[in-house]
Structure 1
Amino acid sequence: MSLISKIALTLIKGVGHVTAKNLLANFGNAAAVFKASKSALMQVPGVGEAIASQILDTDALKEAARQLQFLEKHKIEVLFFKDENYPRRLRDCPDAPILLYYKGNADLNHPRIVSVVGTRRATAYGKMLCRQLAETLKPYDVLVVSGLAYGIDVEAHKESLANDIPTIGVLGHGLDRIYPHLHKTIAQNMLRNGGLLTEFPLNTVPDRENFPKRNRIIAGIADVTVVVEATAKGGALITADIAGSYNRDVFAFPGRSTDEYSQGCNFLIKTNRAGLLNHARDLVYYLGWDDKHGKSSEKQLKLPVGLSLEELSIVQVLRDAPAMVDEIAIKTSLQQSKLAIHLLSLEMQGVLTSLPGNVYRLN
């Protein structure tokens, strides 16, 4: 009865997550909500006469019982926001759903979770970045989250699976269907190494208004959101803004100023809403995973043959830690004009990477 009541509470028209949490806080549990009097219900913030009548007169309990049969038959978990296996990062968000529906084998509280979002019209550049990102993250034991939509979303899922990275698809509809239907096969593959997650009950169709709601779960469940490609307007920017409002890290790959599908990324970087990623390795660096992973200290730096003495002196400065241009100039006694030429040469040879703030680090 308890689980049926929890599902039923989400089926009441007009009861959103905030009101549902108010009801639960007031009555202690979902079953008690449906046993309360109309006057008692109307004492709860957000509950007026119309919603109170809906709770008392609805067939939500019967519908919830029918849905639970389907959920149990298809081994779909129902995660209540107070449950231990509910995503704890998402629980910290003020608008977290009280219920989630989940099918899969990945840990929703994985130690490292990266959300990847972007345009539905991914270019060759965007697909290459998704491949680079997956290949770079593979050694770091991560879980990749996206939305199973066309474009960057599905590329992120595909590349994750190709690199044996568990990946979760957050859906804008119930788990009794897959949208777009074209992604049914990859969704099935994700169930073997990852899973599918939604806040929407069965029989919920993929209406347009569901996807902005879905985006807050993509942002809230992860440590960091990466925007690969995005137009000036769209769901990827919405997700980035939501992640920022949750005080989560946001990063973006830049593109040329004339590229339509990099306008959103460039805007996020320009307005300091996202950190700049020149390469997927930068994400690992920013998050400090190299130190924790323990591989960076073991890796021997391989330098190109024929570096000049000036270039070798720059490498020596950067061996201990990244450094700003001014610091490198002081330690190498190189003039700024000559230093700039050497830094560019080393970057072109893949020896070092430039970071925001005129900082350089060895690759």
Structure 2
Amino acid sequence: MRHEDLYYVLALLKVEGVGDVLAKKLLQHCGSAREVFESKPSQLSKIDQIGSYLLRNLKDKKVFRLAETELQFIQQNRIDFLMFDQHGYPERLKHCVDGPVLLFRSGNIDFQDRKIISIVGTRQITPHGLDFCRSLVADLAPLDPIIVSGLAYGVDIAAHLAAVEHGLQTIGVVAHGLNQIYPQRHRRHRAKIEQNGGFLTEFWSDSYPAPENFVRRNRIVAGISEATIVIESAEKGGSLITANLASDYNREVFAVPGRPTDKYSQGCNQLIKSQRAHCLTSAADLVYQLNWDLQTKPRAVQKQLFVALDAAEQKIYDFLAQNGKELMDLIALRCELPIRQVSAVLLGMELKGVVRPLPGKLFEAV
């Protein structure tokens, strides 16, 4: 997109009463943001939801001054931007009716043909939640997913840093412009996040992290990914809003269960109890529910010499070594193990490099 076109898009987004849904409708009807401003009122009034109030606001010259100021910031700081109808815009977010018309990004973000998951949760993460978050990301690392979160304290930053540790792309969706980092304490992580990933926002440089911005931010976190995972949450919290948004967008939602007496497991338990989320106890649950093909992962897993196997792993390995490739259901039946356990065990064995998944849900010993 040329900067001239961006200038008119910015102006359109500053028109009072024009949000993302209506802006998309205007752009699709008129063909461009410039054409919206240059169209006759009689033409625009034929569009649903366009009345005298909006027609009057479209004549407000103040929006062009605001657009000019923001455009200068974008040019001076070489801010990358993505329009909802252009190549490079997150594919799943395109299908969210209220997804942002315009996104700004920094770093080295690449959405194309990638597995994307969002990890959210309480700012008051417990040691158990922290351990689970780190282990989950570590176990998923061979599948090379993008880890998305909101850069907040607690679960968010734990997910980002775990992704960095394992060389995964991670994206912090922020509730303010790219001229700042909130919370300020996380500014120290900016460079390493941008090395393999970066930051994404719909907010302008004059935006500050107001409470209402976080709710808007959450719809991007929910809409951009294939699944949203809630690690820990109290009975009420922003992560539950994100989970509900993900459900509304027809995305998969997962929640980590906890004891009924644990304050920061109550939200997760309620999501599972009300069947608004899958129960997540290991990376295998996620891989199974999302039907991820382990064979197509880009990161090769080297077979380790003298790998230590537990009893269940040894039983499955011996069965496959003797019988060749078999279906997961048949493995569970012949090894006399629950199918859910076999799913988790096979994933662990795959990560150890001792079994290999094949097309048709088959597995074989390596």
Q: Normalised by the size of structure 1, how large is the TM-score?
A: 0.84
Query: Equivalent residue for 1:336?
Result: none
Alignment partner of 1:354 is 2:341:
yes
Query: Equivalent residue for 2:189?
Result: 186
Q: How far apart, CA to CA, are the structure 1 residues paired with 2:272 and 2:221?
A: 20
Query: Equivalent residue for 1:203?
Result: 206
Query: Which piece of structure 1 moves more, 266-275 or 253-262?
Result: 266-275
Q: How far apart, CA to CA, are the structure 1 residues paired with 2:13 and 2:265?
A: 38
Deviation at residue 324 of structure 1 after TM alignment: 9.4
Residue identity in the other structure for 1:98:
V
Q: How far apart, CA to CA, are the structure 1 residues paired with 2:327 and 2:272?
A: 24
Contact 1:321–1:361 at 8 Å: present in 2 too? no
Residue identity in the other structure for 1:267:
Q
Q: How far apart, CA to CA, are the structure 2 residues paired with 1:222 and 1:315?
A: 38
Deviation at residue 253 of structure 1 after TM alignment: 1.4
Query: Equivalent residue for 1:246?
Result: 249
Contact 1:117–1:153 at 8 Å: present in 2 too? yes
Deviation at residue 312 of structure 1 after TM alignment: 4.4
1:210-249 deviations in whole A, cap 9, x for unaligned?
A: 1111111111111111111111211111111111222212
Deviation at residue 263 of structure 1 after TM alignment: 1.0
Structure 1 residues 213 and 290, CA gap change in structure 2 (3 angstroms): same
Deviation at residue 128 of structure 1 after TM alignment: 0.8
> Aligned Cα RMSD in Å?
2.9
1:249-285 deviations in whole A, cap 9, x for unaligned?
A: 2112111111111111111222222212212233234
Deviation at residue 41 of structure 1 after TM alignment: 3.1
1:19-45 deviations in whole A, cap 9, x for unaligned?
A: 111211221110011122334333322
Q: How far apart, CA to CA, are the structure 2 residues paired with 1:42 and 1:185?
A: 50
1:65-89 deviations in whole A, cap 9, x for unaligned?
A: 2211111221211211111111111
Alignment partner of 1:57 is 2:63:
no
Deviation at residue 112 of structure 1 after TM alignment: 0.9
SS at 2:58's partner residue?
helix
Structure 1 residues 239 and 299, CA gap change in structure 2 (3 angstroms): farther
Structure 1 residues 234 and 6, CA gap change in structure 2 (3 angstroms): same
Query: Equivalent residue for 1:335?
Result: none
Contact 2:119–2:231 at 8 Å: present in 1 too? yes
Structure 1 residues 296 and 139, CA gap change in structure 2 (3 angstroms): closer
Query: Equivalent residue for 2:30?
Result: 27
Query: Equivalent residue for 2:357?
Result: none
Superposed counterparts of 1:106-121, under 5 Å = 106-121=109-124
Deviation at residue 120 of structure 1 after TM alignment: 1.2
Deviation at residue 320 of structure 1 after TM alignment: 3.4
Query: Equivalent residue for 1:87?
Result: 90
Which of 172, 175, 187 aligns to 2:178? It is 175
Deviation at residue 314 of structure 1 after TM alignment: 11
Alignment partner of 1:320 is 2:326:
yes
Question: Which sections of structure 1, spanning at least 5 residues, go unmatched?
Answer: 333-338, 345-351
SS at 2:341's partner residue?
strand
Residue identity in the other structure for 2:48:
P
1:151-181 deviations in whole A, cap 9, x for unaligned?
A: 1111111111111111101111222222111
SS at 1:57's partner residue?
coil
Contact 1:250–1:274 at 8 Å: present in 2 too? yes
Alignment partner of 1:232 is 2:235:
yes
Contact 2:182–2:209 at 8 Å: present in 1 too? yes
SS at 1:56's partner residue?
coil
Contact 2:142–2:301 at 8 Å: present in 1 too? no
Q: How far apart, CA to CA, are the structure 1 residues paired with 2:169 and 2:246?
A: 21
Residue identity in the other structure for 2:326:
D
